[in-house]
Amino acid sequence: MSLLSSFKKRSTLDAAIKQVAQARKSDAGKAEQLYKSAYQGFASVIADNLMFSEALYHWGFALLHEARAKPPLEAIEIYEDAISKFSFCLLTSPNYLGAAIDGGVAFMELARISPDDGKAGLYGLAEDFFEKAGKIQKGSAAYNLACIYALRGDEEACQQALRQAKEFGSLPDETNIMRDEDMENVKQAQWFTEFMDAVRAQPEPVREKLTDVEISGEPKFKLKKSEDFDYYSK
């Protein structure tokens, strides 16, 4: 980060902090505007820091996988921690596709181990993440959305989402779809049978076989030992 950029971010941060202080003393209408302006300031300060965002994503990814190996009561807290990391990642990098998809996955897995009265709300939050993923890259979370629609019994929406997943190449293979418990509500439907028949009839993509090549670990150039390299010279 350049010195000028650092000063600008410091100025933006100071302004946002002052807006929060003003909001605490203001009436409801003005306070809301000040809070929103402050949030934008905070977001701009931490935005565009790719390494920071990547660290948050991989932290959340690790927590997501750790939660899967824990008993439900212990896993709930870990899932919530993972979701917070994915959410923060999206705050710093709004177009981070992995965080949008895996944040939705974390909410879905959390819903499965939560009491029945809380499942619908958690699936709704998962849907929000998947829809965001779809805005970042169309069709990227179409199958995930199809699962949510199937769980709700919304067959029309499920069918449309499956078609979109197939169109954009995000559809899992036949075996995984048929084993997916989220799809149980629609597996006996005529349209689902026809859809899967079409999937089976579609030829698998031909993958070009890579030929063996000799890889040299030596660099393509070498500096002569006699050369002095001054990084500060122009």
Q: pLDDT, tens digit, for every residue of 42-63?
A: 877 776 666 788 888 999 999 9
pLDDT of residue 178: 96
pLDDT tops 50 at residue 219: no
Q: What is the mean pLDDT of the chain?
A: 85
CA distance linking residue 42 with residue 99, whole number of Å: 20
pLDDT of residue 152: 96
SS3 for 160? helix
Q: What's the whole-number mean pLDDT along residues 178-182?
A: 96
Neighbours of 120 (CB within 10 A): 11
Domains of the chain: 1-46 (no CATH), 49-200 (1.25.40.10)
Tell me which amino acid residue 180 is. D
Q: What is the largest CA-CA distance in the chain?
A: 77
pLDDT of residue 209: 53
- Determine which helix (DSSP H) or strand (DSSP E) holds 143, and give its type and residue range: helix 142-152
Residue 107: Cβ-neighbour burial (10 angstroms; 0-12, 13-18, 19+): buried
- Of the listed ranges 48-52, 72-76, 119-123, the least confidently predicted one is 48-52
pLDDT of residue 221: 34
pLDDT tops 70 at residue 215: no
Beta-carbon-side half-sphere exposure of residue 182 (alpha carbons within 13 Å):
20
Query: With bands split at pLDDT 50, 70 and 90, how would you rate the model's confidence at 208?
Result: low
pLDDT tops 90 at residue 28: no
CA distance linking residue 145 with residue 158, whole number of Å: 7
Q: And the tokens for 56?
A: 């948050």
Q: Which of 102, 76, 73 is nearest to 87 (CA)?
A: 102
Instruction: Give 75's contacts (C-beta < 8 A, 6+ positions apart).
Output: 67, 68, 113
Beta-carbon-side half-sphere exposure of residue 224 (alpha carbons within 13 Å):
2
pLDDT of residue 231: 28
CA distance linking residue 64 with residue 127, whole number of Å: 17
Query: With bands split at pLDDT 50, 70 and 90, how would you rate the model's confidence at 142?
Result: very high
Query: With bands split at pLDDT 50, 70 and 90, how would you rate the model's confidence at 118?
Result: very high
pLDDT of residue 233: 37
Query: With bands split at pLDDT 50, 70 and 90, how would you rate the model's confidence at 7?
Result: confident
pLDDT tops 70 at residue 216: no
Count, in order, helices (H) and strands (E) of the chain. 10, 0
Whether 129 contacts 103, CB under 8 Å: yes
pLDDT tops 50 at residue 223: no
